[in-house]
Amino acid sequence: MFNKTKLSALVAALALTGAAQASAEISGNVSLVSDYSFRGISQTGEKGAIQGGFDYAAESGFYAGTWMSNVEFGTESSTEMDLYFGYGGSMGDLGYDVSYIYFDYEGDAEFDYQEYALALSYGDFSFGVNYSSEYLGDGGPDFVYPYVGYSMALTEGLSLDLHYGYSDIDAADFWGPGEDSYSDYSATLGFSAGGVDFGLAFVGTDLDDDVVAGSDDRLILSISKSL
């Protein structure tokens, strides 16, 4: 999914600009990844993906955008498109962000769904929760996703991001026999040079990969560029 951390940083920066500065900013991004992992589960059968999107961020804190990626689920859908809007700001050292996200899967409209999200940040720590009343399509179960993250700069241009999330799904055996709610985790080394961002991520879940394909521990490489 789209990099909301970078978008929130852009919103915060715009909120601090003076009246003489531009009141809004439009930006874009494009990425190549060795695997599209979302909440620890591969969306491309552990194959590569081309991803990109556009964002609008206003000085007021409002933002909106779209993001796309190829996917491979063994169904008719080959493209995911996310549409989102939200509002972000800060109160002292506490950052906050509320948003709405719509997930659209071309050719598989029965899997389209929406989420509502609240995110908080304090220093290098981030906390958040996403909620959907019909997860992965009409009639789907309630879904709650609380998560926590920690980001730190190791050296100039080199960073480490840690993430832990829990997918609480109100449906027994949602992913397969004995597999419903689960935890995901990741540790990502990021390096920036010449305006290009490089990433090496270790991601995984506590799901059984023999039941839920693409949920095992693995390494993912990424190259991205902001436009």
Cβ pair 85, 59 in contact under 8 A: no
* Interatomic CA distance for residues 3 and 36, integer angstroms: 13
Domain with 217 in it: what CATH number?
2.40.160.40
Cβ pair 203, 220 in contact under 8 A: yes
DSSP state of 43: S
Alpha carbons within 13 A on the beta-carbon side of 186: 26
Q: Which residues make Cβ contacts (< 8 Å) with residue 73, sequence separation at least 6?
A: 43, 108
**Which domain covers residue 142, as residue numbers?**
4-226
Strand (E) or helix (H) holding 10: helix 4-15
* pLDDT at residue 216, as a whole number: 97
Q: Which residues make Cβ contacts (< 8 Å) with residue 9, sequence separation at least 6?
A: none
Global pTM? Answer: 0.90
| E strand segments, 174-227 | 182-193, 196-205, 218-226
* Interatomic CA distance for residues 28 and 58, integer angstroms: 15
Are β-strands 79-91 and 94-105 bridged in parallel, bridged antiparallel, or unpaired?
antiparallel
> How many domains does the structure of the chain reveal?
1
| E strand segments, 156-193 | 158-169, 182-193
Token pair of 85 as six digits: 């809007």
Each residue's pLDDT, cut to its tens digit, for the chain (227 residues) gives 555 445 555 555 444 444 445 568 999 999 999 999 999 999 999 999 999 999 999 999 999 999 999 999 988 889 999 999 999 999 999 999 999 999 999 988 999 999 999 999 999 999 999 999 999 999 999 999 999 999 999 999 999 999 999 999 999 999 999 999 999 999 999 999 999 999 999 999 999 999 999 999 999 999 999 99
Nearest CA among 48, 112, 56, 110 for reference residue 80: 112
How far CA 215 is from CA of 54, 123, 170, 183, 203, in Å, comes to: 29, 31, 19, 10, 9
For residue 221, report the phi and psi dihedrals to the nearest 5 degrees.
Answer: -100, 145
Cβ pair 35, 42 in contact under 8 A: yes
Are β-strands 218-226 and 24-33 bridged in parallel, bridged antiparallel, or unpaired?
antiparallel
* pLDDT at residue 76, as a whole number: 82
